[in-house]
Structure 1
């Protein structure tokens, strides 16, 4: 530890040329602290404490009051040149009438992006988005580490553009979804008065996406059904069977409740779908039979219960990967089951309006036609498509009886 010496007191002797050598050789006061000023940059000083600690600061008067702004400490990675550059920047801020010390204090109290995302979840996503859990997962996987701890004013368009490019090298569609999520978070923050700045996502060009038309072919369906019948987890197996044979969105199937089902009439009422409208789904006989068996053994509010806080199955990706591997199916996503129902309806002669209503597509050009359709032709089209899909198997359609109710 440096030996304590009596500090030099005269103003003139406390002006020194800041170098590594001159700073290292500064005497440590017996008590209190002493400040030494740089001869090259006005108002830049180094404060030496009796403990031996040294701190670079800028000391100025602002609107009749003394203001000190801490820059850093020797040995923290800052070179003397970097300290001087920061001091010059701070001098320029003062000259422009600003107070950098107040700006620093405001930044310390400013929300981080983690804070803002929590507000977004509670005030918007959980109330208005069926896919809010997917937003939460995307945030944890792609956004939390690079942006979560940053103060909002410190997040720049370049930060977001760099993240977009980094993800987009291999997964352009995912990169676009992440960009859209960040933009939505900032957009809601502006709407709720939580952020007074601009949306830093504005002007970032999204990647061109190819329209996805993947659905399961006849041979793939045969292998898919075989893999389902061998799947040991009944909840996983039944979930994917229902997702395929109803053509419903994944989030709606995950949240399916017994109270919304009328198995006598063969209908399922979805109060809120992704496009904001309710939907009545026609249940084909195979689904009705499967659900009757589940109802005998499932006591949960939900058809596909889970152990988490939601009470229902949340993320079936592991089960999907397991089934696709067993079936030898590559490049398929869970959403492709919905597309498969629509495609097989088309292949078995259903009209576009009927397909649109069965999948609850919201299209201004066909809304009037959908309104005039009752459920009978939709049910007929879905049953024909379901029969055609299930006929790809080598044996008669059957429902494997549940052995136990499980999770993912």
Structure 2
């Protein structure tokens, strides 16, 4: 009987064996955050990818025209081993005929529905680059659900303008603009994936938006500082202080990781996958910010600066603590996000 090695091993040879249901069912989960791949010794290129969350997916891993390609076949056990081998054989046959199944799968066609385009956009583009993809999916599900089955080739600019107007009336101008931005991004990505149509959202004029201008006023600061320092939840208190001192986005501060902090250089590097712009950012840390980090590091046993008890492992916006602080300070209509503008007002 072939003995499977530990997931941490990099030996491909030890991860190659004849797939059976018994062996696949007992595969251990990866010890790190990366997928683990196991290869079938009976079918060329067939592999099973196992995620840390326990999801298992059949894929075909082959070089096509000199380039490595990974083609998703389907989830296990929804697909049996025999079905996966049959599909892998079909794909191998197409490759032998000079075709590129991966390229064909990446391309977008006129008959694709908007839902199919969005699912591809979500899995192939958004999730690998953005951690905050759930809000985009919620926006699509709420405001574009009636367009899910529409073929992308049938969506016209006049349709988008009408949708923009209706959402602006019913849900607000800000939401309407975000929906059109999402449609524009979807069709731009479809074009990048070799779709030959025009972007119907390309020149739809956005509603004017008035930016929120609320920030801590000078006469509010003494009461705010007193209330903040009186907060008993140290993690929430330090998170709010760090938000104020760095001016960074809430999601970035909440998921701040120790490996992003350079104490010697006094910098915090936010990687591109966490950045809203998709580009890495480096924030210079002030002496008070460094003092908070040094104190927290001394007693930390987590990868996160502000650990939490939820699934993410880090702090999620501490609404209860924030309400206690502003109530204690006697301040109204102030949000945690307003702390970014507060720093900007100090720097102006």
CA contact (8 A) 2:322 2:336 kept: no
| 1:161-200: CA deviation from partner (whole Å, max 9, x where unpaired) | 344223323632232122111211121122113x443322
Task: Kindly indicate whether residue 218 of structure 2 is the aligned counterpart of residue 218 of structure 1.
Answer: yes
Query: In 2 relative to 1, CA 215–265 (structure 1 residues): closer, same or farther, beyond 3 Å?
Result: same
C-alpha displacement of 1:225:
3.6
C-alpha displacement of 1:292:
2.9
Query: In 2 relative to 1, CA 172–338 (structure 1 residues): closer, same or farther, beyond 3 Å?
Result: same
Unmatched 5+ residue regions in structure 1?
1-108, 347-408
CA contact (8 A) 2:224 2:326 kept: no
Which residue number corresponds to residue 75 of structure 2? none
Which residue number corresponds to residue 241 of structure 2? 241
* CA distance in 2: counterparts of 1:143 and 1:189, whole angstroms: 20
Which residue number corresponds to residue 174 of structure 1? 175
Q: What are the residue-to-residue correspondences of 1:31-50 with 2, within 5 Å?
A: none
- Alignment partner of 2:342 out of 340, 347, 361: 340
* CA distance in 1: counterparts of 2:133 and 2:164, whole angstroms: 21
C-alpha displacement of 1:242:
0.8
* CA distance in 1: counterparts of 2:129 and 2:331, whole angstroms: 34
CA contact (8 A) 1:302 1:311 kept: yes
* CA distance in 1: counterparts of 2:286 and 2:305, whole angstroms: 17
Which residue number corresponds to residue 256 of structure 2? 256
CA contact (8 A) 2:244 2:340 kept: yes
State the SS of the aligned residue for 2:252. helix
State the SS of the aligned residue for 1:118. helix
C-alpha displacement of 1:131:
4.8
**Greater displacement, 328-337 / 176-185:** 328-337
CA contact (8 A) 1:324 1:330 kept: no
* CA distance in 2: counterparts of 1:234 and 1:242, whole angstroms: 12
C-alpha displacement of 1:127:
3.9
List 4+ stretches of structure 1 deviating above 6 A. Answer: none
- Alignment partner of 2:293 out of 291, 294, 304: 291
| 1:79-135: CA deviation from partner (whole Å, max 9, x where unpaired) | xxxxxxxxxxxxxxxxxxxxxxxxxxxxxx944333322221232223444654442
| 1:240-286: CA deviation from partner (whole Å, max 9, x where unpaired) | 22111112233432332101223455432334444565444332333
CA contact (8 A) 1:114 1:148 kept: yes
State the SS of the aligned residue for 2:248. coil
Query: In 2 relative to 1, CA 344–278 (structure 1 residues): closer, same or farther, beyond 3 Å?
Result: same
Task: Kindly indicate whether residue 286 of structure 2 is the aligned counterpart of residue 268 of structure 1.
Answer: no
CA contact (8 A) 1:271 1:277 kept: yes
Aligned-residue CA RMSD in angstroms?
Answer: 3.5
Query: In 2 relative to 1, CA 146–220 (structure 1 residues): closer, same or farther, beyond 3 Å?
Result: farther
| 1:181-239: CA deviation from partner (whole Å, max 9, x where unpaired) | 1211121122113x443322234221112355432212343444455446565444332
State the SS of the aligned residue for 1:269. strand
C-alpha displacement of 1:325:
5.8
CA contact (8 A) 1:224 1:323 kept: no
Query: In 2 relative to 1, CA 341–323 (structure 1 residues): closer, same or farther, beyond 3 Å?
Result: farther
**Greater displacement, 237-246 / 331-340:** 331-340
State the SS of the aligned residue for 2:185. helix
Query: In 2 relative to 1, CA 221–177 (structure 1 residues): closer, same or farther, beyond 3 Å?
Result: farther
CA contact (8 A) 1:238 1:290 kept: yes
* CA distance in 2: counterparts of 1:231 and 1:338, whole angstroms: 20
* CA distance in 2: counterparts of 1:324 and 1:236, whole angstroms: 10
* CA distance in 1: counterparts of 2:116 and 2:311, whole angstroms: 21
Which residue number corresponds to residue 164 of structure 2? 164
* CA distance in 1: counterparts of 2:172 and 2:289, whole angstroms: 35
CA contact (8 A) 1:252 1:270 kept: yes
* CA distance in 2: counterparts of 1:152 and 1:223, whole angstroms: 55
- Based on CA coordinates, which of the two structures has the bigger radius of gyration? 1
**Greater displacement, 250-259 / 183-192:** 250-259
**Greater displacement, 126-135 / 198-207:** 126-135
Task: Kindly indicate whether residue 120 of structure 2 is the aligned counterpart of residue 119 of structure 1.
Answer: yes
* CA distance in 2: counterparts of 1:242 and 1:259, whole angstroms: 17
* CA distance in 1: counterparts of 2:234 and 2:183, whole angstroms: 37
* CA distance in 1: counterparts of 2:232 and 2:158, whole angstroms: 48
Which residue number corresponds to residue 303 of structure 1? 305
Query: In 2 relative to 1, CA 317–225 (structure 1 residues): closer, same or farther, beyond 3 Å?
Result: same
